[in-house]
Amino acid sequence: MKKLILLFLLVSIGTQAQKWTNLFDGTTLKGWTQRGGKAIYTVENGQIVGQTVSDTPNSFLCSDKDYGDFILELDLKLDDEMNGGVQFRSLSKPDYQNGRVHGYQMEVDPSARAWSGGIYDEGRRDWLYSLNINPAGQKAFVKLGWNKYRIEAIGNTLRTFINGVPTAHVIDDMTDKGFFGLQVHAIYASMKPGMKIRWKNIRIQTENLKPSPTDNCPVVNLITNNLSEQEKAQGFSLLMNGQNFDGWRNVHSTEKPNKRWEIKDGILSVGSSDGSETGNDIVSEKMYGAFELVFDFKLTEGANSGVKYFVDEKFDSGGKSGVGLEYQVLDDAKHPDAKMGVVGNRTMASLYDLIPSEKLDKRFQRKIGDWNQARVIVYPDNTVQHWLNGFKVVEYQRKSNIYNALVARSKYAKYEGFGAADKGHILIQDHGDNVFYKNIKIREIK
């Protein structure tokens, strides 16, 4: 009898954990209110159908109820190749842009860029996760077919899935509660009136939430010096802890960073002087071979800095900066170094003095004083990538003939074996300008 009771309890708990509540009754729009534009929303054959109309902004059919932590699932289908989205933890306030709907959105994007499942911050910060860093996720969406969308919002962790494939993973604490919204995008580009998007099987869990297991989906973590469970599972650690300089020292020295460097409120900064290379660079005590390095940086006007890797302290730079491959950190508009070098190979995110970065769409270029997110990925085959704000802007192969030819024509030609060591230090450059860094993380790639 005791075994039967225990079995009954276990089954009851499991059933409770899997409890779903329908948000759409299949016949009416009860529990939903339209906000924003004037797109047409109807119910047909157990589906909510949204239809584009001319001369109106983005439209949203919004849940009357707000939700904090939840798991949401729904099926959606495009009748035409149009843009749309699913808002979550979203808001509409009279004192914010006259009630404009704003908040997180799981993207619907059948275009060639394939950002369906990405996380967009409607009416606020723009793209948080564009899917360029997740090629597997870009393949999940089925154009003009039914797609199962899943959103897990638990605490600060926001995860999206399409047809069971992880598409985005964001850690953010801007909004902890809000409504859902089914978006019909305003007409733009090749869109036209009468295009339709359909939703059905809209259901939610709000209790006994069980997140999906950790996976290989890259994480965009917007909380200062925080390591999410997925980042930890993927092997990331904080390269700088945001509290002190443990694990760091001055280049060519055993001394800790001097007073030009400061850590305050989790943010690393270097002060301004005369803008010259002052020889106060700091390096990681540990050396790295194949790795993925993530860091956020913020420039002041006219500032110059850089993050170097495969730094080899056997090279003598004459008291200036340590020598290594450099991810350029620069105000391209105001610092003269951007006009030097060859074909822009000293501009932001370039492999300094060797390979220019591909320029981003202006929409994704951050203003001076805003934070940028950078990634440097070094694979075991010596392929190296520079990323800036979600876009790959440089790719090359260390030790290749092309790489060697570039070095031979650069300022590094005098350093035999430049950038070719199997391991090296990570360096943050003091170029005499005021620059800020945070969220400096690394994982070694086997």
Concatenating the DSSP letter of every residue in 413-430 gives TTSTTTT--S-EEEEE--
Q: What is the pTM of this model?
A: 0.92
Hey, how many other C-beta atoms are within 10 angstroms of the C-beta on 106? 29
For the segment 420-429, what is each residue's pLDDT rounded down to a tens digit? 999 999 999 9
Give the domains, in start order, of the chain with CATH numbers: 19-220 (2.60.120.560), 235-444 (2.60.120.560)
**Radius of gyration (Cα) for the chain, nearest Å?**
25
- What's the angle, vertex CA 195, arms to CA 194 and CA 196, rounded to 5? 110
Residues 6+ apart with CB under 8 A from 188: 83
Q: Name the 3-class secondary structure at 63.
A: strand
Instruction: Tell me if 357 sits within 8 A of 393, measured CB to CB.
Output: yes
Residue 407 dihedral angles phi and psi, to the nearest 5°: -65, -40
Instruction: Tell me if 430 sits within 8 A of 324, measured CB to CB.
Output: no
Instruction: Tell me if 437 sits within 8 A of 296, measured CB to CB.
Output: yes
For the segment 373-387, what is each residue's pLDDT rounded down to a tens digit? 999 999 999 999 999
- In angstroms, rounded to a whole number, what is the distance separating the alpha carbons of residues 45 and 122? 30
Concatenating the DSSP letter of every residue in 296-348 gives EEEEPTT-EEEEEEEE-TTS--TTSSPPSEEEEEE-TTT-GGGGSSSTTTTST
Q: For residue 274, how far is the Cα from the chain centroid?
A: 34
Residues 6+ apart with CB under 8 A from 411: 353
| Widest CA span in the chain | 83
Residue 16's pLDDT band (cuts 50, 70, 90): low
Residue 75 dihedral angles phi and psi, to the nearest 5°: -105, 140
Residue 258's pLDDT band (cuts 50, 70, 90): confident
pLDDT surpassing 60 at residue 2? no
Of 110-124, 266-280, 334-348, which range is least confident? 266-280
In 93-222, beta strands by DSSP E: 102-108, 119-122, 126-129, 147-154, 157-162, 165-171, 179-184, 196-205, 220-221
For the segment 396-413, what is each residue's pLDDT rounded down to a tens digit? 999 999 999 999 999 999
- In angstroms, rounded to a whole number, what is the distance separating the alpha carbons of residues 232 and 241? 14
Instruction: Tell me if 150 sits within 8 A of 71, measured CB to CB.
Output: yes
Contacts by residues 124-130 (CB-CB < 8 Å, ≥ 24 positions apart): 124/174, 125/174, 126/363, 127/364, 127/390, 128/104, 128/170, 128/172, 128/220, 128/222, 129/168, 129/169, 129/170, 129/220, 129/390, 130/390, 130/391
Of 36-50, 172-186, 304-318, which range is least confident? 304-318
